Amino acid sequence: MIRLVGMLIGLGFTFVVLLAFGVGAYTAATEEVEPQAGYAFHAEPHAPEGGFASDGPFGRWDQAQLQRGYQVYKEACAACHSLGYVAFRNLADLGYSDAQIKAEAESYQIPHYDPSTGEVTRSAGLPTDNFPPVAYAGLGSPPDLSLITKARGDGTNYVYSLLTGYEDMATYANEDGELLTEEFPEFQVGEGLHFNPYFEGLAIAMPAPLQDGQVTYAVDENGVAPEATVDQMSQDVAAFLTWTAEPKMMERKRTGWWILAFTLFATILAWFAKKSVWSAVKPKREDD
């Protein structure tokens, strides 16, 4: 009885879902699916040449690069994008001294809200303060960048690719060598938007934020300053934003190796323990 009822229910669901399949197949066969420029010409994030120092299980921060990235953030991004989950004290990870961090914090005005009046007073920041909110004057809301490299797929490479991905739409070709303007002659970037194949829909509100030579890098320990190309600045700020998204990344990887080594050792011991316990009752087949 239960099997009969079960069979009827099973056939019922099968019938309905195959009906839906038939309708879907008929629609697919009779209606042309409009190809979309946003799919055909979307570009996947790619790594810069040589990748990032923090990549991979053995990755380490490149402190000089993080400092350069912080500089790029301050000079090119900070006018519109906040960094709300990062505190000034965290900058110690970048190799700054306590005095430098104190001075850095003091250069910011931090809003304090009086809960009884709602009034805002501003005072110089302390190392314990987080980066303050940014009041963006234009339309839209530029996202907070603290977590951006974790909030996008392949985030570090995405930030790098996006920042270096502003191109002339008229000459843009995808990986198959097809020209966007030939395949989709009617494709237009919306009013106030900018063409960028790494962004969803190929159009982003943010204009290209970096120009060659926009920041002046300090000289490093070898006495040379890296050239501030768009590519270099994009790498640096992508590395910096990888740190802001996960400041504990190196602690995590370092701990991971110790834990894996210990677990491997314990597992090998467990294997020999198992072998020795079972050796007395191991199957002794006649044909052995």
Partner 1 sequence: MSFPWAKEYTPQNGFTKFLDERLPLPRLVYNAVGAGYPVPRNLSYFWNFGVLAGFCLVLQIVTGVVLAMHYAADAGVAFASVEHIMRDVNWGWLMRYAHANGASFFFLVIYIHIFRGFFYASYKPPREMIWLIGVVIFLLMMATAFMGYVLPWGQMSFWGAQVITGLFEAIPLVGESIKVWLLGGYAPDNAALNRFFSLHYLLPFVIAGCVILHIWALHIPGSSNPTGVEVKQESDTLPFHPYYTAKDGFGLGVFLLIYFAFVFFLPNVLGHPDNYIEANPLSTPAHIVPEWYFYPFYAILRAFTFDFILPAKLWGVLAMFAAILVWFFLPWLDKGPVRSGHYRPLFRKFFWFGLIPCMAVLFVCGGAPAEEPYVMISQIATAYYFLHFLVILPIVSSIERPDPLPYSITEAVLGSDKKAVLGENAEPAGA
Would you say 4 or 224 has its CB closer to partner 1? 4
* Least distance CB 75 / partner 1 (angstroms): 25
Closest to 244 (Cα-Cα) out of 113, 148, 167: 148
Helix axes 63-72, 230-245, angle to 10 degrees: 100
Which positions from 88 to 117 touch partner 1 by CB under 8 A, shown as an x/- string? --x---------------------------
Would you say 87 or 215 has its CB closer to partner 1? 87
* Least distance CB 163 / partner 1 (angstroms): 18
Size of the site for partner 1 (CB under 8 A): 60
Would you say 46 or 150 has its CB closer to partner 1? 150
Would you say 177 or 285 has its CB closer to partner 1? 285
Which positions from 186 to 225 touch partner 1 by CB under 8 A, shown as an x/- string? --------------x-------------------------
Under rule CB under 8 A, residue 60 binds partner 1:
no
* Least distance CB 124 / partner 1 (angstroms): 22
Pair 200, 43: CB distance under 8 Å: no
In degrees, rounded to 5, the angle at the alpha carbon of residue 110 between the alpha carbons of residues 108 and 112 is: 170
Under rule CB under 8 A, residue 36 binds partner 1:
no
Q: Tell which one of 60, 112, 122, 274 touches partner 1 (CB under 8 A).
A: 274
Which positions from 138 to 157 touch partner 1 by CB under 8 A, shown as an x/- string? -----x--xx--xxxx-x--
* Least distance CB 237 / partner 1 (angstroms): 18
Q: What is the 3-state secondary structure (H, E, C) of the chain?
A: CHHHHHHHHHHHHHHHHHHHHHHHHHHHHHCCCCCCHHHHCCCCCCCCCCCCCCCCCCCCCCHHHHHHHHHHHHHHHCCCCCCCCCEHHHHHHHCCCHHHHHHHHHCCEEEEECCCCCCEEEEECCCCCECCCCCCCCCCCCCCCCCCCCCCCCHHHHHHHHHCCCCCHHHCECCCCCEHHHHCCCCCCCCCCEECCCCHHHEECCCCCCCCCCCCCCCCCCCCCCCCCHHHHHHHHHHHHHHHHCCCHHHHHHHHHHHHHHHHHHHHHHHHHHHHHHHHHCCCCCCC
For partner 1, which stretch binds (CB under 8 A), given 166-174, 204-212, 230-238, 271-279?
Answer: 271-279
Under rule CB under 8 A, residue 57 binds partner 1:
yes
Would you tell me which residues interact with partner 1 (CB under 8 A)? 2-3, 6-7, 9-11, 13-14, 16-21, 23-25, 28, 33, 57, 85, 90, 143, 146-147, 150-153, 155, 200, 245-248, 251-253, 255-257, 259-260, 263-264, 266-267, 270-271, 273-274, 277-278, 281, 283-287
